[in-house]
Each structure stands twice: as C-alpha cells, then as structure tokens.
Amino acid sequence: MIPAQFDYQAPATLEEAVSLLASDLDGAKILAGGHSLIPAMKLRLAQPQLLVDIGRIKSLAYIREEGDEILIGATTTHYQLESSDLLQRICPLLPDCAKSIGDVQVRNKGTIGGSLAHADPAADWPAAVLALGAELVLVGPKAERTVKAEDFFVDLFTTDLQPGEILREIRIKKPSGRFGQSYQKAPHPASGFAVVGIAVHLGLNDDGSCKAAAIGVTGVDVKAYRAKGVEAALSGTTIDDDAIAQASLHVCDGVDPNSDLYASSEYRGQLARVHMRRAIQAAKAKAQ
Amino acid sequence: MTNNYVGKRVKRTEDPRLIRGLAHYVDDVALPGTLHVTFVRSIYAHAKITGIDTSAALSTPGVVAVYTGQDVAGKIGPVPCASALPELKVPDHRVLATDKVYFVGHPIAAIVATDRYAARDAVDLVMVDYEELPVVTDVEQAANGGPVIHEAFGDNIAYKLTSGEGDIDAAFTAADRTVKQRILHNRLAPIAMEPRGVLARYFPGEEELTIWSSTQIPHLMRTQVALMIGIPENKLRVITPEVGGGFGSKLNVYSEEALLGWIAMQLGKPVKWIETRRENMQATIHGRGQVGDIEVGFKNDGTLTGLRYSVFADLGAYHQLLTPAIPTLTGLMLSGAYKIPAIQMNITGCFTNKMATDAYRGAGRPEATYVVERALDLVAAELGVDPAEVRRKNFPSPDEFPFHTATGLDYDSGDYETALNKAQEIIGYAQLREEQKKARDEGRLIGIGVSTYVEICALGPSQAMPAGGWESATVRIEPTGKVTVLTGASPHGQGQETSFAQIVADELGVNINDVTVIHGDTGVVQYGIGTFGSRATAVGGTAVFVAVQKLKEKAQKIAAHMLKADASHILFEGGKYSLQAAAAASATGVSEPVVPVGQAPAGALPEPETDGKSNLTIQDIALAAHLAKDLPPDTEPGLSATYFFEPKNFTFPFGTHIAVVEVDHETGDIKFLRYVAVDDCGRVINPMLVDGQVHGGIVQSIGQAMYEEVVYDEQGQLVTGTLMDYAVPRAKHIPNFELDRTETPSPVNPLGVKGVGEAGTIGATPAIVGAIVDALAPFGVRHLDMPVKPENVWRIINGN
Amino acid sequence: MKLEGIHQLDAPRERVYQCLVDPEVLQRCIPGCERLEKTGDNTFAATIRAGVGSIKGVFNGTARLEDLREPEHLRIVVDSKGAPGFLKGSGDLDLEHAENGTKVNYSGDVQVGGTIASVGQRMIQGTAKMMATQFFTSLNAEAGTQAGEPPPQHGFFRTALRWFSGWLRNIFRKH
Amino acid sequence: MKKAINLSVNGVSRTDEVEPRMLLVHYLRDVLDLTGTHVGCETSLCGACTVMLDGQAVKSCTLFAVQADGSAVTTIEGLAQNGELHPVQEGFWEKHGLQCGYCTPGMIVTAAQLLERNAAPSREEICHGLDGNLCRCTGYQHIIEAVEYAAAKKAGQS
C-alpha cells in the first residue's frame, strides 16, 4: 500500500521533462496519470528513484485534427477520449475502446500515453492504436522520432522507448471512405483487464466488400499484435458471415495464447476467435 | 404500545453519519502519539526459521521496536480455539511464529514505528532465513500420508467425527436407487470492505488497556485477550467502533489483537495496525474449503430414504476460534427441508499449509444446503422428474412441526410448500419450463435452478455454543425521557441500531428519534455474545424486547402510584399510561409518600405534573423515577431493566430461490435472466433491512457460484492474493432480484423472528449452480463444481 | 510452473555447451544478472535484477550447475531471495546436433513466492517466457563468437531481441 | 525531500509539506483528518477511496498528494451543501443503499459523478458507472435504486 521513497519533479515543459529523465536514466520514471505505475509502486514492484510528473504539462493533453491526421497528446485521459465528440464523429474506435478501460475513476485520471508506454499485455489501447495504424512520436534528449505502433510493442511490458525517451503524441490517419470500427473485449471479472480485446478497423469498397482490414489484438499474447492472418483473409471478401467466421479463425496464427488462472491458452484462443468474429460483425454493421 | 415502527420500512438511524463520511472506523480513531505497527510475514508456506536479523530495521529512522516470536514467547498466550470436539488436536498457535512458519502470511515479526510509512519501509529490512519444508495444500493428500505439518501429532488429521441418526444401512437397503456425487466447496475470502484493524492504548497509572478493534464479538474478545496477555478482564476495555463488514471473518480472536495490546503496554504509547488487503487475503480467515462425497437413497416415487456424506474439511495450518466447529454445522443441516429417515456424516478435519478456515457467512450451513440441494437435483435427473416436484414430495407438512430431523434438530416452524408455490407463481414456473423447451429447440441454452432451503439461525442455545448462546440487553429511560438501549449484540452493518429502536419505540410508545442503541463497547455495555449466525435480532432483539417488558412492569407500578390507582386498572396505550375508563371512577389514592418531599434545589429538573391528570407518558414516569421523590414503597429509583435472553432452540428460516440463466454457446458466459427469492424469516421488523440482507447474501452466493476462489499453488503460494485476481462481484454481475416473503413466526422467541443474515448465501448457490447445470443438461451434465467459470461451461459444450 | 521448449541456436553444440558453463557468459546471458561469482565447483553466488518494464526486483542467491555431461546435458538450479519474494527454479538443458547448429531442448520448473506470487498471477508465465527468450537470444549471440573473443555489444542484444523474440516465443510453451 | 502543496479541500484552502510518496488518501485522512474517505484495497479496484479532483471522480489511493497540488478536492464530507444532503446521499438513505457504510463514501462520490454526466441513466448505465466500486454488503440492488432515486430527485429540482 505504501510506496518506497522517491524524489518528485513536476516540470512545466516537455523539454524540462526530457532533461530530468536524462539525469537518471536508470532510476527516473515518467509519471503521467499514474494508473499503471502507482499500483506497481504501492506493491513495491516498481521503486523508481525519481518521478518526473508530466501530468502537469497542459500542452500534452489534446485531441485535434491536423490535415489528414488526428493528433492525441500523450497525457490525454481515457475519459477525454471517451467523451470526445470529434472522435465519436471521425474515429469512433477510440471512444469505443476508451469506455471499456477500467472504471470511471481510472478513466478520469489514466492517460493513453501512460498506458501505451507501460505496454501491459492486457491493456486496451495497444489493440486500438494497432488497428488504426497509429504512429507514436517519441521525444528524447537529442531528437524526436516517430515509430509505428506495430514496431512500438516489443515484448511484455517492453516498448521501443529508449532510455531517456518520452512518448509525446499519438498520430492517427483520419479514417476515410467507407469504414466501420469496433472494439470487443472479454474483461477479467476481477481486474477488468482484457482477457482478450479485439480492435477492428474495416475499410470497405463502394460495393461493400472489404478493401482493407486492420486489426489489433490484446490480452492474447505477451504483447499486443496485428492479426495479419485475419486481415489478409478478410481482404477482398464480401464480408459475409462465412468470410468473417473463416477469417476469425486466424486470430492466433503464430501466437501461443497466454494461459492464467482465469483462462487457459485453449480457451483464450476460443475467446479471441469469438470476439474477433463479433468485432468484425460489429464493425461491418457500423460501416456507413 | 404503538404500531408505528415494527414491520415498517423505517429509514436507518445509522445512516446520517455514514453517508456524510462522519462515522468512525478503527483507522479513523486518532490518538496523539500513536505508533504504527506492520508485520513481517512468511513468504513460504512451510519452513523452519533459521534466523531473523532485525538490526537493519531497528536502525531505520522512525522505527521504535521490532518484536519476534522469541521476544513474546511466554508473555502472550496462544491464539484461542473455542471448539471442543472429542480428541481434537489443537496446535500451539502463537501470535508470532517461533521456530517454524506454516502458511504464507504467517506473522513472524512486528515492527513499531512513528508512522505508517516508516513502519512499512522497515518490513523490507528484516532478514529472515528459512529452510524450506515440504508443503501440503491438498486436503486429501494431507489426510493420506502427505507431509506432516505439526510433527508432534504424527499426521495431519485434526479430528474425525461421525454424526447423524437413523439406521443408515437400512435406509440404503430400503432405497430403490441411489445417486452419488463428489462435491467441492471452494475456499473463499470473506473480503469485508474494511480490513481488520486494531488500536491499543494503555494507561499505566490506571492499569487500563483499551483496544479498539474491528470485531463482531467485543466481549468474547475481551475475555480471550485478557487471558492471552494476563491482565484482569475488567482492566481491559474493548471498543468496537464502526465495523466495515464482517461476514464471520471478524468473529474471531486474532494474533494481532493480543499482540497490539501487549505492545501498547510495553511501550506506554498507543499503537495501531491496519490490515492491508493483501494481509487480509493471507491472514484473515477463509471460508468453506470442503470436499466430500454425497450419497442419497430414494424410492422410485422420489421419496428419500437416506443420505450419507463423507467430507474432508480443509482447516488450514492452525485452528482459529471456531475452525474445527464449522464442518460440524454442516452435519446439523444435512436434512435440508426434507424428511430423510436416516442421515450420516463423516468428517475428517485436516491441517494444510494454508490460512485457517472458519466462519464465513453461513458457516457450514451453505455447504449442507448445497450438498442436499445438489443431491435433490441429481435425484430429479435420475428419475426424470421436475426438481421442484422431488422437493415438494419430501417436505414435512406444516402440521409436522416441530419437526425432528435425523441430524438431531427440531425445526421450530415451517411451511415449505407455500414458499415454493409462491416462488413458482412469481416466476411463472410452468410457462418458464415451456419457454425453456422452446429455447432449446432454437439452440438457446436456458437453465432453471430451484433451491428450497432451510437454515439454522439465532445461534443459539448455550448448550450448543462454545461461549454461551444467550444475548443481553439493557433498556433505560433517562431523566429527560431519552431511551438508551445497550445491546450485547455487536451489529456491523445489519442495522440493529434501527430495528432495535423500532422495537423499543413501539413498545414504549415513544418517537424512534428518542431511542439510542449503544453497542460494541465493553466499558459501557453489559457482557454480550456478539453478532453472527443470524442471531442479533432473534436473540439480541428478544433480549431487548423482554428488557422493555420488565421496564414497563416497573413503570406501570409507578404510573399507578402517580395516578393514584391500582396497577391493574392502568392501561398502557400509545405511549401513555392511563386509568382505564371503567376503573377511573373507582380510583382511590393508593398511598401517601413515605418520605416527605422537600423543596427541590435550584436547577433541579422540573417535576412531572400529575395532579388531576388521567394519563402519563412513560417519559413522565422516567423523570419521576429518577427524581425519586414519590415512588411506590420498595421501588428502586431509576427506570432501567436488563435481561439476558437464553433461547430454548435455534430458529429455522427457509425459503425458495429460483434462478434462470442463459449460457453462451461460444464463450461459456453465464447471464442471469431472472432471479426470484421467497424467504421466510419469521416476523419482519423492518422489511427494507430484510431485503438488504437477502440481496447481499445472494450476491455473495453469486460470488461463490461463479467467481470467487482462493487458490494456493502446490507450493502453498496464495496466487489469488489481491482483488486483481480474486473476483468479488460488481454491480454489473448481478441480476435484478425479485423478492417476496412468506411469514411463519417462530415459536422460539416472543418476537416470532427467525433471522435473515445468512439466508441469501445459504439459499442461492444451489439455485445458481442448478440453473447452470440445467442449461447444460442437453450435454449430459448433472453437476459442476464451483466456481463455475465460463471456461468450464465452454468445455462442457465442446465436450472436453 | 513448468516451462518447456526447444531452441535452435546457430553455433555448434560444443561451443554452446562451453558458453553454458562459463560464468562470465552466463552472467551476460541471464537477464538482469549483475553478479555471478564462483563460490565452489559449479556453484555461484548471484545477484539478479529481474523483471519487466518498470516492474523490477533485486534477487540474491545461488546458482548451481549439475548433472554435467558435456556436451549434451546440464542442469541449472537457481535459488534466490529478494524484497519482492523468492525466485527459484531448475532447468534441464539437452543439446542436440542440428543442421547449422544446435537444438536445445529445455524443460524447467520455476517457482516464485512472496509479492510476485500474490500479485503477478497473470504475468508470471509471460515474464518467464520473456526471460527465457532473452536468455537464449543472448546465448545465441554469445555462442556466435569464439571463446576469448570480446563479447557481443549491448546494442546488439537490443536489436537481436527485437528480431528474435517473436519467433523464439512461438516455440516456447507452457504445460 | 518534502514538497510544498497548495490545494483546496471542500472549499478550504490548504498548504502543507508532504513527502512525495504520500498518497492523497493518506493526506486527506492523516493530515487533514478527513476520515470519511476509506481505503479498501491496494490495487485501485475497490473505489472506497474515491474523491472528486477538479470535478472528476478519482481513486485517491492511486494519486500522490503532490499530484493534487493546485487542485480542488471534494471529499464525502464536502458533498452536502449548507447542511442539505446531496441528492445521492439522500437516495442512499431512502433506499437503504448501505449497510456497513465502508464503501459508501466512495460509492456516493462516484454516483454523484455519474449523475453529473448522465442525468437519467439506465440500470445498465448505472452498473457501468459503478464498476469501479465494490460493495460486499448490499448486493448493489439498493444502491442502484438509490442512484435512480437521486436522478429522479435531481430532475425534480431542476
């Protein structure tokens, strides 16, 4: 319940945060909403020496359109994403995913950037950003770089963030043309984390056939991944029930699903297939 | 007497402080200079302690003291076990481990520091060297040659007991058929929302120790802790402030309570320990934890002939207060709501490398009900008849009460069929079965589960209880007319501050706001037993009721004196004593004051004016009784009465629960479609409180049936160590409950009440599991073990 | 918890074996191993900073090599304790000749206790998988150099990890 | 090293020096003696510690007091205005939405947030809104009814 001691800094700017982080590459940690880090600290599973609180950098919390992109600041809370009219209009997958995270208290404080950087294998956001082909903007002491979501999640709780780097922004191409999106999740009854979570973005041709599908899967493997087998199987089909069912079978291609007290590997695989099918169907139903 | 409150939906008098955040739980009590205690607990399930190095912890800023098992050896007596069973093996259970640890969470050292943060820091600095020993967590392995936990005993069997009546062999010979089933009762964590907590303060001059504890049994705890630390019982005061739920987990005497008291005496400063949720999962008792084999004999027409149940009870590493007794309660209730000529139960209680099991809401009776109800479902399946009909067939009829069971009990009163009928009517049973058939044809899996339960409440006659089964009450009316009720029951959320006030307000004809119910302070309240076993209202409420009658007897005498009439002519109605109309005319002055009344000193209370009055409120009388200027001869001043109520029997509430579920073919998800509960808890004091008890009980049943399970791995590590993995039901997990009642008063107490605190946890699990099994009946399933998780369901549907 | 898997390494069996019994190499391969000091024949004192992401704990204990049958078999036994609990396990490694290298059959048993056991239920398997993957990835890199050559660089591991973790994990299963 | 914080709690301005690791819930309880906010778990799952931080319901056990620097906190003690119960408090009393009362302050604050965002929630929306709060006594049904009562009451007021 009580974390170990640490030092705390609340820089006013991102530049300051970067330099504070650089001052102790091993012991410093970024604190955004704190809803991944603080629980770990309270159990003393994480004992950083220095917390650099970027939650106070107001300019890091935003949702805006710019050209053909949606830009989301790293410290934007789950609730801000859930309740954004703009997103509801142009990219409903984000609010859809946001509202299934944790509970209202967690959504009020937890941030998208914090969640992505933490890379919990059962977190919801990784699935959504994968399905949206997001790019993540990382800022370090020397330079800023952009990483594709697909390359960002490296392993269990491990991302491409290098020591000293901070996730600054999430960039998403504005979905265009005919499309439908959905996030379907089987929550753990105790923790609320995704036993499986499936985020689907379905691009449709004028005739209603599948132009391209992009699908993110969380909870199944040690990290979130793109279900490329499903995407490929769906592509070009008329997305009828049969095609959806067949494509969904590929959700665990190349993956050995996690096994834990709640769900065995076999059952988790089944949940992934079922939720995949339901997510695609829901996305199709929502397609304009 | 008035009828303003009892039986009505009266808003709780407890609530204004609770809803405004102004109530005080243990951790909310702040004493200046309080030191904080944390515990170093074992991370191994079974190991020798080969060394403890506390030096680093002691040199941490803020740390005042560190105590190990050696430091307290010989100074604090063993943690008590109050269960007396023949040849029971009782391990020496010390407040801190000495040479060995027996379960993960076993306390090893107590750290005292100036604040919570420093105390927690020091925990990481105590170095304990362990030598691991072989671990046994499976109860049957423990019984059958697994590693021995307490070496002196030679094996892990704490006791064996056979109970029941009737010729069991003849019963099975007489049977046309039998069904057998192995049944598991999952180990559960009570999870009171407020974890345990203790605050202790010692005044060396007065030699007075005060312990604030989140407990259900302040007086019993006082006695035991006084014995443990060797101080006179009347120099120890136990205060139970607001208690954030107990469910049996606080019906106990724990290491920490005595230890904190002892530390406060050593250091001469207040010391506080507040349990963390992880400690609560590890080191507060668990419930259930039985695995047994049931066998039922029956005739082809469904008539039951006999029932046999052999069970291994997983007691954990040590006995807590009632650990060994809990499975014996299962034996008492194995007749359920049915006429069963012969019943036999064989219990083998075993030690395992886990936390002790003990009373958790229902305590042994949910196990019995679950076993019997599952068995009845199996009988129905075997005979191909409706499960409700098998039940109906075996009910005793209302005129058979008191009904003697082959478990040795006499059920007080009951009308089981009426409750069943009512539940079936509400849910539209016949039509529901039709709809189920139709749904099945459409490929939907809908299941209906029926449970007709009886429970044993109002624990209980002292003969059957380790520390007495009575309850106490004092009712007094203060000079200003305010009514004070002191109850030995120690409610912690059940709402007796309100329901007892309802009883008293009606009996005295006063406004409920004039009644204050005080409980949970041994310095204020006469000795009492406590709140558990659905006893507070049936036993404690009766004590209050009878105490009020005693008080009224006295008031009546005084009233007669004041109204100058014979007591037999005084009528008490609407809170007023008055001369009966007919008698008024013949009223004569009964007596003159024996002692001449002097002039009242300035500032004295105004004397009641009685001259010329034909009636007096009981509050007028209370004032007169206190002023004592003009009382009948041989009358003690004051208006107060105390009563200790000893019940002659338990009470036996009952009811019918029907659950309707639908399971998802693909995911195994279980969804409630309906839930109807018709409960009969005798006379109802406050229907709103009764509904609340039933709701809460059912949801704990939903937890047991579908979500909750304390899991230790083979090495004895508690892998469901937090609420991340141990699933307590949330609002989204519950159905909309449709409740109703029948009301069969109990003849055991003058109130006619039976108790309702555990009804939901006892009645609901079999209905829920029965419904899930029924939904899966097309797959040939007749039983599933709890918790029934979606994966289990999915495996059944998919044949693996 | 049981772990079992097969790893394909590029180096010849003898070289892989040599790496597995070389404390310096082992220290570099065991994820988070900050110290591995020889204390006797095939026994070592070890300090391991184990964990994933921001979740880390320092464990002190012993490591022992047993049942050494060069170049085909050995067993590693680890027993350690730290503030978050204890971590112990044993693993049997069977090395087989394979085309272009060595096939390592691995079968082990991992036990954790204390905080990690009570709170990390859903992550223990993943963490074990990940650490084993890291171990074999590093081992493959180490075995790719000759004895006495400078060890591969840190940066190499990072890159290698990213490339290898995906396919290695797939052949690594829990039972 | 201690940090200075400045915040408003239930409308009262507070200045204190706290260790960075001090949790907001401990600051409220131990420093300000506002003990209505409770601690029921260690893993941000029970919701007993819920307070409003700048108008948003948050779990005060999962925030450091330093993070609340410059913010306005409302605890259960600050919910009633001018001696009048908040409609949600009233609902809990009317509908017997509490038994032991331990989860109640967090439950009430969360429910208040729910009604601010959705004046007429369905039963399902209420359950979703209370997903972060555990109650072990009531079985939730009366809590749901309490929220419905409060919604109706608020609708009547406006």
Q: What is the mean pLDDT of chain C?
A: 82
Instruction: State the helix-helix crossing angle for B416-427 and B429-441, rounded to 10 degrees.
Output: 50
Structure tokens at A261: 């007290």
Q: What percent of chain D has pLDDT over 90?
A: 97
What residues does CATH 3.30.390.50 cover in chain A?
Answer: 181-286
Asked whether the beta carbons of B107 and B303 are under 8 A apart, the reply is no
pLDDT tens, residue order, chain A (288 aa) = 999 999 999 999 999 999 999 999 889 999 999 998 999 999 998 999 999 999 999 999 999 999 999 999 999 999 999 999 999 999 999 999 999 999 999 999 999 999 999 999 999 999 999 999 999 999 999 999 999 999 999 999 999 999 999 999 999 999 999 999 999 999 999 999 999 999 999 999 999 999 999 999 999 999 999 999 999 999 999 999 999 999 999 999 999 999 999 999 999 999 999 999 999 999 999 996
| Continuous H helices in B428-533 | 429-441, 496-508
Q: Which of A1, A188, A274 sits opposite B666 (nearest CB)?
A: A274
Shortest distance between the Cα of A111 and any Cα of chain D, in A, equals: 13
CA B222, CA C16: separation in Å to the nearest integer? 67
Q: What percent of chain B has pLDDT over 90?
A: 92
Pairing, β B157-163 against β B342-351: antiparallel
Per residue in A237-253, pLDDT tens? 999 999 999 999 999 99
**How long, in residues, is chain C?**
175
Nearest CA to B91 out of B25, B100, B632 is that of B100
For every residue of chain C, DSSP letters joined together read -EEEEEEEESS-HHHHHHHHT-HHHHHHHSTTEEEEEEEETTEEEEEEEEEETTEEEEEEEEEEEEEEETTTEEEEEEEEEETTEEEEEEEEEEEEEETTEEEEEEEEEEEEETHHHHH-HHHHHHHHHHHHHHHHHHHHHHHTSPTTSPPPPHHHHHHHHHHHHHHHHHTEEE-
- Alpha carbon of B380 to those of A105, B304, B365, B395: distances in Å? 48, 11, 22, 15
How big, in percent rounded to 5, are the helix, strand and coil portions of chain B? 30, 25, 45
User: pLDDT at position D158, please?
Assistant: 66
Number of domains in chain C: 1
Asked whether the beta carbons of B253 and B95 are under 8 A apart, the reply is no
Residues in A touching D117 (Cβ below 8 Å): 83
| Continuous H helices in D10-140 | 24-26, 87-94, 104-117, 123-129
Q: Which of the four pLDDT bands, split at 50, 70 and 90, describes residue B319?
A: very high
> Which chain D residue's Cα is nearest to B692?
D138
Q: In what helix (H) or strand (E) does residue B677 lie, and over which residues does it extend?
A: strand B670-680
CB contact under 8 A, B721 and C113: no
Q: Averaged over B310-316, what is the pLDDT?
A: 98
Q: Which of the four pLDDT bands, split at 50, 70 and 90, describes residue C159?
A: very low
CB contact under 8 A, B715 and C85: no
The neighbours of chain B, by the rule of 3 or more Cβ pairs under 8 Å, are: A, C, D
Residue range(s) defining the domain that contains residue C133: 2-174
Q: What is the mean pLDDT of chain B?
A: 95
Considering the domain delimited by A181-286, tell me its CATH architecture: 2-Layer Sandwich (3.30)
Q: Which of the four pLDDT bands, split at 50, 70 and 90, describes residue B606?
A: low
For every residue of B180-208, DSSP letters joined together read EEEEEE--B----SSPPEEEEEEETTTTE
> Which chain C residue's Cα is nearest to A225?
C166
- The strand ranges marked E within B76-196 are 100-101, 107-113, 127-132, 157-163, 177-185
Burial of residue B22 (CB within 10 Å: 0-12, 13-18, 19+) is: middle
Considering the domain delimited by A61-173, tell me its CATH architecture: 2-Layer Sandwich (3.30)
Residues in A touching B719 (Cβ below 8 Å): 261
Of 3.30.43.10, 2.60.40.420, 1.10.1200.10, 2.40.30.10, the CATH number of A7-54 is 3.30.43.10
Per residue in B206-219, pLDDT tens? 999 999 999 999 99
CA B531, CA C144: separation in Å to the nearest integer? 71
What residues does CATH 3.30.465.10 cover in chain A?
Answer: 61-173
Asked whether the beta carbons of A226 and A130 are under 8 A apart, the reply is yes
User: pLDDT at position B589, please?
Assistant: 45
- Alpha carbon of D114 to those of B107, D52, D78: distances in Å? 42, 12, 17
CA B501, CA B464: separation in Å to the nearest integer? 29
Nearest CA to B548 out of B614, B620, B476 is that of B476
C158 touching chain B per CB within 8 A: no
Q: What is the 3-class SS of B773-799, one letter each residue? A: HHHCHHHCCCCCCCCCCHHHHHHHHCC
CB contact under 8 A, A39 and D19: no
In three-state secondary structure terms, D144 is: helix
Cα–chain center distance at A147: 14
- The strand ranges marked E within A115-174 are 135-139, 144-148, 153-155, 158-159, 166-173
Structure tokens at B736: 């909309």
CA B28, CA B241: separation in Å to the nearest integer? 9
B110 forms beta bridges with B39, B67
Q: What angle do CA B325, B330, B331 make, to 5 degrees?
A: 95
Instruction: State the helix-helix crossing angle for B759-775 and B365-383, rounded to 10 degrees.
Output: 30
C95 forms beta bridges with C104
CB contact under 8 A, C113 and B719: no
Q: What angle do CA B613, B615, B619 make, to 5 degrees?
A: 110
Q: Which of the four pLDDT bands, split at 50, 70 and 90, describes residue C156?
A: very low
CATH fold, domain D87-157, is: DNA polymerase; domain 1 (1.10.150)
CB contact under 8 A, A157 and C53: yes
Cα–chain center distance at A23: 29
Considering the domain delimited by D3-78, tell me its CATH architecture: Roll (3.10)
The neighbours of chain D, by the rule of 3 or more Cβ pairs under 8 Å, are: A, B
Structure tokens at C81: 């304790």
pLDDT at C162 > cutoff 50 = no
Unique residue bearing structure tokens 């202790």: B200
pLDDT at C167 > cutoff 70 = no
Q: In what helix (H) or strand (E) does residue B659 lie, and over which residues does it extend?
A: strand B654-663
B116 touching chain D per CB within 8 A: yes
For every residue of B18-69, DSSP letters joined together read HHTT---BGGG---TT-EEEEEEE-SSSSEEEEEEE-HHHHTSTTEEEEEEH
Per residue in B505-529, pLDDT tens? 999 999 999 999 999 999 999 999 9
- Residue C127: which CATH number? 3.30.530.20
Residues in D touching A10 (Cβ below 8 Å): 66, 69
Per residue in B356-376, pLDDT tens? 999 999 999 999 999 999 999
Per residue in B443-462, pLDDT tens? 999 999 999 999 999 988 99
Per residue in C110-148, pLDDT tens? 888 988 888 877 788 788 878 888 889 999 999 988 877
pLDDT at B588 > cutoff 90 = no
User: pLDDT at position C131, please?
Assistant: 82
Q: Which of B43, B278, B718 sits opposite C86 (nearest CB)?
A: B43
Structure tokens at A6: 């640490």
CA B81, CA B66: separation in Å to the nearest integer? 27
Q: What angle do CA B10, B11, B12 make, to 5 degrees?
A: 115
CA C81, CA A268: separation in Å to the nearest integer? 33
The neighbours of chain A, by the rule of 3 or more Cβ pairs under 8 Å, are: B, C, D
User: pLDDT at position B375, please?
Assistant: 98
CB contact under 8 A, D100 and B493: yes
* Domain boundaries, given as residue ranges, for chain D: 3-78, 87-157
pLDDT at C164 > cutoff 70 = no
Cα–chain center distance at B5: 25
CB contact under 8 A, C56 and A45: yes
> Which chain A residue's Cα is nearest to B667?
A271
User: pLDDT at position C170, please?
Assistant: 37
Give helix then strand counts, H and E, for chain A.
Answer: 12, 14
Per residue in A210-221, pLDDT tens? 999 999 999 999
Shortest distance between the Cα of A185 and any Cα of chain C, in A, equals: 17
Q: Which of A48, A158, A258 sits opposite C52 (nearest CB)?
A: A158
Q: Is the model more confident about C153 or about B398?
A: B398
CB contact under 8 A, A156 and C116: no
User: pLDDT at position B611, please?
Assistant: 59
Q: Averaged over B551-556, what is the pLDDT?
A: 95
Q: Is the model more confident about C161 or about B551?
A: B551
ipTM topping 0.90: yes
Give helix then strand counts, H and E, for chain B.
Answer: 21, 28
CB contact under 8 A, A122 and C122: yes
pLDDT at B595 > cutoff 50 = no
Per residue in D14-65, pLDDT tens? 999 999 999 999 999 999 999 999 999 999 999 999 999 999 999 999 999 9
Per residue in B657-692, pLDDT tens? 999 999 999 999 999 999 999 999 999 999 999 999
User: pLDDT at position C152, please?
Assistant: 72
